[in-house]
Amino acid sequence: VRRHLEALCSSSRAPARQTAKGLKMPTHAHKNRKKRGHVSAGHGRIGKHRKHPSGRGNAGGQHHHRIMMDKYHPGYFGKVGMRHFHKQKNHYHCPIINLDKLWTLVGEEKRLECAAASGQAPVIDLTDYGIFKCLGKGQLPKQPVVVKARYISKLAEKKIKEVGGACILTA
């Protein structure tokens, strides 16, 4: 912008002035200098250049701009769903973990240690880590594991049991 203004003002006449709002273009570089002497200055005699002929901003969305709103912004007006008064986020607090991240909670060393000791499956209590729900995305290593959680999805349960593990639901 600065370069553009400087290019406009690079003639031998007055250069751009620095003001509180930034660079100010000199009057001789303004476009409307060319319109002097032409009555309507390019805005037409009939329609006239008025301030806000169709209202300011989003005015008339349900009235004179209805076609535009329906065409390009369907669903802008109105409501959807049910209201829930005095909603407390605590009641819906349910952090999740997927199976592919399950072993990161106990660490790789612990996993290898348990893999070496046959007949020993580690117990991963998700509530100790502040996680309430176990979901079934990803794969588990072929190693039994006991998962304790408040909620376990059907797919997660199936995959845990496939590797020889068990699921325990806690309150």
pLDDT tens figures, 122-170: 999 999 999 999 999 999 999 999 999 999 999 999 999 999 999 999 9
Share of the chain above pLDDT 70, in %: 93
Query: Residue range 104-129: average pLDDT?
Result: 90
pTM above the 0.75 mark?
Answer: no
List Cα–Cα distances, 96 to 24, 54, 87, 108, 155, in angstroms.
56, 51, 21, 21, 14
Name the amino acid, one letter, at 44.
G
Q: Taking 70 as the threshold, does the pLDDT of residue 7 lie above it?
A: no
Q: Taking 90 as the threshold, does the pLDDT of residue 10 lie above it?
A: no
Share of the chain above pLDDT 90, in %: 77
Nearest C-alpha neighbor of 131 from the set 155, 97, 102, 104: 97
SS3 22: strand
List Cα–Cα distances, 23 to 3, 29, 30, 150, in angstroms.
10, 13, 14, 63
Contact 140, 106 (CB under 8 A): no
Query: Residue range 85-102: average pLDDT?
Result: 96
Cα–Cα distance for residue pair 154/145, rounded to 1 Å: 16
The predicted structure's pLDDT at residue 11: 55
Going by pLDDT thresholds of 50, 70 and 90, the confidence category of residue 5 is: low
The predicted structure's pLDDT at residue 9: 60
